[in-house]
Chains A and B, each alone.
Chain A
Amino acid sequence: MSTSTAELSMTHVHAVVEEVWTTFLGGGDPLYEIAPPTDRDPAEQGSVWDAAITVTGAWQAAIVICLPDGVADAVTRAMLGFAPEDHLAPEDLIDALGELVNVIGGNIKSLMPGPSKLSLPLVARGPISPSTSLVEACRLDLGWGPHSLRVVVSVPADQDRDQQAEEA
């Protein structure tokens, strides 16, 4: 399925994140949408991990996932098959969260006009800010058990203006 830039919505992004989440984490707690502004801002829950990837080509974007420590830890353990008592090294988190954003980014890219190319992922402890030439096109706040996470898709300002013109 390919859609126009104007049609990239929270619904599309939510569907992609949910599919990836369910596949990687199996039958655990479901993701649910929470309305911003929220008192469950990931950044308010202590330390966070950000995982980012960029798309270049016919459609351009930066996709950033922000996960509090507890979520990052649980996702990494699930993906690597680690038991609760197993020690997680920062390298484990970086690799697993990089793959998570790679798969989410690739599936969002597949909804948009191509051809376009994914970068290699970037993962950091703390916030990753997209280039200042990008503007936020979609922000999704999701609850997962007592935790929350955030997915932000940013696009070049001129691409965003085109989208708004199409919507008008």
Chain B
Amino acid sequence: MHALIIDDSRTMRTILRRIVTELGYEVTEAGNGQEALDALETGIDVDLCLIDWNMPLMDGYTFVTRVRAEPRWRSMTLMMVTTESEHGQIVRALAAGAHEYVIKPFTPEAIVEKLELLGLAAREVPA
């Protein structure tokens, strides 16, 4: 499994990377939507994108619309991870094609729970 973490904050990328690598993901990082599109254009096979909203050059909402316009990237799961919590923005992102929306601050458990609901994280079953 491969996750693309898109956030202009290296700190937030580090926090998210810790969470998803624990789940067994390989990680690619991008500092904005354009960098993320450039990474996808190299042909990496991404299962999950974790996307901030407010970023320089290209914001997360624009990234979602660009990805959803490309049939070759249709299978990727898109999760917004952002401080933007106005109802209108959440509706807009989901309508544009984001599958999930997580508001910062979040606990690792909250991210894992969302990924489990999406079938992208397996809860460990005691032997």
Q: Are B83 and A103 in contact (CB under 8 A)?
A: yes
Q: Chain B contacts of A81 at CB under 8 A?
A: 14, 18
Q: Are A79 and B15 in contact (CB under 8 A)?
A: yes
Q: Are B105 and A120 in contact (CB under 8 A)?
A: no
Q: Chain B contacts of A107 at CB under 8 A?
A: 83, 85, 105
Cβ contact of A95, chosen from B10, B18, B84, B107, cutoff 8 A: B10
The yes or no answer to B29 lying at the interface (CB within 8 A) is no
| Main secondary structure on A side of the interface with B | helix
Q: A110-B85, A115-B86, A118-B83 are in contact. Are A103 and B11 (CB under 8 A)?
A: no
Residue interface mask A118-161, B partner, CB < 8 A = 1: 10100000000000000000000000000000000000000000
- Bound-state CA distance A44–B41 (Å) is 52
Interface residues on chain A, size class: 20 to 34
The tally of residues in B whose CB lies under 8 Å from a CB in A reads 21
Q: Are B11 and A95 in contact (CB under 8 A)?
A: yes
Q: Are A24 and B54 in contact (CB under 8 A)?
A: no
Q: Are A80 and B54 in contact (CB under 8 A)?
A: no
The yes or no answer to B39 lying at the interface (CB within 8 A) is no
Cβ contact of B11, chosen from A20, A23, A80, cutoff 8 A: A80
Q: Are A120 and B106 in contact (CB under 8 A)?
A: no
Q: A23-B107, A81-B18 are in contact. Are A120 and B54 (CB under 8 A)?
A: yes
Quick one: closest B residue to A23, CB to CB? B105
The yes or no answer to B71 lying at the interface (CB within 8 A) is no
